Amino acid sequence: DLTWHEICVLADLEDEGVYGVELGGLPIAVYDVDGEIFATHDICTHGLARLSEGFLDGDLIECPLHQGLFNVKTGAPAGAPCTEAVRTFPVKCEGEKIFVAIT
């Protein structure tokens, strides 16, 4: 069974569509893609940059450091220089609250 951790609320995603949180020292980026919520590890697999400080365009997050891209639904790299997938986490919403499970 998954253990769910409450990490933020929908309103946190309103401005940028992406929001960074820490869960027990684990940096997590949370995304709103047309009302569907996704979560990935917040650190780019190419370098030490926070994806939550990047730019979300549809289901792609652009890393703020070298403009690499990841698909936030799958974690797959979607643009150079990123070649290694970023970890994703299961998400569920209950009303305004967003929960992730660390798998």
**What are φ and ψ of residue 40, in 5° steps?**
-135, 165
- In 3D space, the residue among 98, 102, 103, 94 whose CA is nearest the CA of residue 6 turns out to be 98
Instruction: Tell me which residues touch ligand FES (CB under 6 A).
Output: 44, 46-47, 49, 63, 65-66, 68, 81-82
Rank residues 70 and 99 by Cβ distance to ligand FES and give the closer one. Answer: 70
Rank residues 10 and 79 by Cβ distance to ligand FES and give the closer one. Answer: 79
Rank residues 36 and 57 by Cβ distance to ligand FES and give the closer one. Answer: 57
Query: Shortest gap between Cβ of 49 and ligand FES (angstroms)?
Result: 4
C-alpha neighbours within 13 Å on the C-beta side of residue 18: 23
Query: Shortest gap between Cβ of 12 and ligand FES (angstroms)?
Result: 22
Query: Shortest gap between Cβ of 42 and ligand FES (angstroms)?
Result: 11
- How far apart CA 83 and CA 100 sit, in angstroms, is 25
Q: Give me the sign of the Cα torsion angle 35, 41, 42, 46.
A: negative
Query: Shortest gap between Cβ of 73 and ligand FES (angstroms)?
Result: 18
